[in-house]
Structures are given as C-alpha cells and as structure tokens.
Amino acid sequence: MGSNLEETHDHIHDIDRQLKGRLKLSVILTGIIFLAELIGGYMTNSLALMSDAAHVFMDVFALSLSWFAIYISEMPPTEKRTYGLHRVEVFVSFINSSVLFLITIFIFYEAYKRLFNPLPVESTGMIIVAVIGLAVNLIVAMWLKHYATSDLNIKSAFIHVIGDAAASVGVIAGAAVIYYTGWFPIDPLISILIGLIILLGAFQIIKESSHILLEGVPREIELNKVVEDIKASKGISSVHSLHIWSICHNVYALSAHLDIEPTQRWRMGEIFAEVNERLAETYHIFYTTLQAECSGCDANDIFGKIAHKERNHNHNHLH
C-alpha cells in the first residue's frame, strides 16, 4: 500500500516537472516570437501583424503566470490560508482573460481608423514572420494539449496559443491577398478577426473562472443527483445544508448535514465512509465534511441558506 502511494506521489511530481520544463521553454519561444512580430509589424507597417504581436504578448503573460501558478499551488496550507494557494491558478486565469478585453478594444480602434485610411503594407516580410509564429505556436500547443484537459490555468494558456495560431493563419492569408492584389484594407479586417478570436477565448475563461471564484457547483456535477446518491446509503433519511464547490479546477469539495435514522446511528462511521467513497468514485469529490443531525436545521432546506449574523449572536444549534 505504502509503495503504491509513493509511486503515485513520484508520478505526480514527474508530471509537474515535465510541465514546468515545457512551460519554461514555451515562455522563451513565445517571447522571441513576440519581439519578432512586434519588430516585423512595425517594419512592414502591418496592423494585423502587430495585433498578433499583442496577442502573443498575452501568450507570454499567460504562460509565465501558468508557470508561476504551479509553484504557488505547491506551497503548503498555513494558519491564514488553510486551502493553500490553489485558487491562484483560477485568479490568474480570470485576470489574464480580463486584460485581453482591453487589448482587443485597442485593436478594434486601430483597425477602425485604418479601414477608412488604408496604409501600404510590405507583404513578404509579413508572411515570413507570420509563418514562423504559426510554427512556434503549433509546437507550444502540442506540448500543452495533454495538460489542458485537466488544469484550468494550463487550459487558459492553451487557448491563448491556439487563438494566436489561428490569428497567424489569418495574417498569412491577409499578406497573400496584399501580395497578389495590393488590397490594403484586408490588413485591418484581419486585425478585427484576431480581436474576435481573442474575445471568444477570453469570454470562455472568464465565465469558467468566475464560476469557481463565486463558489459555484462544478458544471459537470448535478446537485440533485448527488443528493440521490448520498441518500442511497442505508440509514440516511434526508440531506440538507449541502454545498459543493471547487477549490480550483478539478479539485472539488463538499459539506452536508445527514439525518441518520435512530436505529442506524451505531454504524455512523460506516455510513460516512460509504458516502465518501461513492462521492470520490462518481463525482471526483475527495474533500468532504459530513455532519450527522442538526437540531436547529430545516430538513427541507437542501442548501442551508446563509444569513449574516452579529458576532455575539447566540445560537442553540447542535454541531
């Protein structure tokens, strides 16, 4: 048993070590691409390329914060922060995506001005820089794809990279149009497309991270189904004061009051163990706080409404 736990622990550390290494290299590569696109956009007078550079800068920001968040989340709990700093990854994702909205507003403003006053763009250099950027973004995306399915913070960075890869394709297409037709308004139009890509990705991350920050029930968990599964254990007559939330992405917690039938109270520990096992296997909920009986609680109030009370408020609830 101990050997299996050690192997699992070592495996998790190996994964974290691999992810840190990939994130570090991704930051370096995307940082180089940011400088290349910024300089290339200025030299070719391409708003699309400079818009993509702005997006790449956010990639660098996202990847750097993702890298930093892994170290932060490994810090142990303290007397002031009993959950540790796991929420950092969610907070980072929210801030990161919010900043993207500001970047997009600037892109739209510049594109609007150029639509009415198109400026000449040097298409050859634009294509070369965009192709290099596309290649790097695809490599980084492949490195992060596996981890993005189970970590919101990495998912946020992954979406940035995918969005930028799509934007690079748009820049290449725009450069080709300019090269063959000389139609310069395609450059601000591509910038607007890049802005829309940024907005879409940012909205999804803000929606998901804010749901966690507001203590929402994980989207893949149906609360009424959880109640049914808890009550499936013999001896439980009702469930109330039930709360389910995410500490961070993919780490769920639950607290509840369970009314145990008087004739079954002697096996309370067994009932709790059975419920905990079912919650872990079915819903990936490993952090639970279960309480038996509460004389002052309303058995019909599943959620247990939270009320603000004075600090010296006396109560007779039994816990």
The answer on pLDDT for 44 being more than 90 is no
Given this model, what pLDDT does residue 305 score?
67
CATH 1.20.1510.10 fits 2-213, yes or no: yes
Average pLDDT, rounded, for the chain: 79
Between 175 and 87, the higher pLDDT residue: 175
Distance, CA of 237 to CA of 239 (rounded, Å)? 7
pLDDT in tens, 262-289: 888 888 889 999 999 999 999 989 899 8
pLDDT given at position 12: 44
Report how far residue 219's alpha carbon sits from residue 59's, in angstroms, rounded to the nearest whole number: 26
The mean-pLDDT minimum among 17-31, 39-53, 250-264 falls in 17-31
Q: What pLDDT does residue 298 have? A: 61
Please state, as a whole number, how many other Cβ atoms lie within 10 Å of the Cβ of residue 268.
15
Residue 277, exposed/middle/buried by CB under 10 A (0-12, 13-18, 19+)? exposed
pTM: 0.69
Lowest-pLDDT range, 177-191, 193-207, 292-306? 292-306
pLDDT cut 70: percent of the chain above it: 83
Give every CB contact of residue 196 below 8 A, 6+ residues apart in sequence. Answer: none
Q: Which of 198, 172, 174 shows the shortest CA–CA distance to 185?
A: 174
What is the pLDDT at residue 102?
80
Q: Is residue 174 scored above 70 in pLDDT? A: yes
Which of 4-18, 165-179, 191-205, 210-224 shows the lowest per-residue confidence on average (mean pLDDT)? 4-18
What token pair was written down for 171?
A: 């820049």
Give the CA diameter of the chain: 85
Domain ranges of the chain: 2-213, 215-319
> What's the confidence (pLDDT) of residue 229?
92
Please tell me the predicted confidence (pLDDT) of residue 4. Answer: 44
Band of pLDDT at residue 319, cut at 50, 70 and 90: very low
Query: Does the domain made of 215-319 have the CATH classification 3.30.70.1350?
Result: yes
Please tell me the distance from the alpha carbon of residue 157 to that of residue 65, in angstroms, as a whole number. Answer: 9
- pLDDT (0 to 100) of residue 152: 61
Burial class of residue 131 in the structure, from the number of CB atoms within 10 Å of its CB (0-12 exposed, 13-18 middle, 19+ buried): middle
Question: Is residue 313 very low, low, confident or very high in pLDDT (cuts 50, 70, 90)?
Answer: low
Query: Which residues on adjacent β-strands are paired with residue 290?
Result: 256
* pLDDT at residue 5, as a whole number: 38
Greater confidence, 298 or 173?
173
Cα three-residue angle 297-300-306, rounded to 5 degrees: 55
Query: 75-120: per-residue pLDDT in tens?
Result: 787 888 877 777 777 887 788 778 778 878 888 888 888 888 887 8
Residue closest to 238 by CA, chosen among 294, 319, 163, 172: 294
CB 294, CB 315: distance < 8 Å: no
Rounded mean pLDDT of 148-159? Answer: 70
The order of strands in the sheet holding 236-248 is 236-248, 251-260, 285-292
In 10 A of CB 46, how many CB atoms?
32
Give the Å distances, CA to CA, from 15 to 31, 169, 170, 209, 248.
24, 32, 34, 23, 18
Taking the CB of residue 195, how many other CB atoms lie within 10 A of it?
Answer: 25
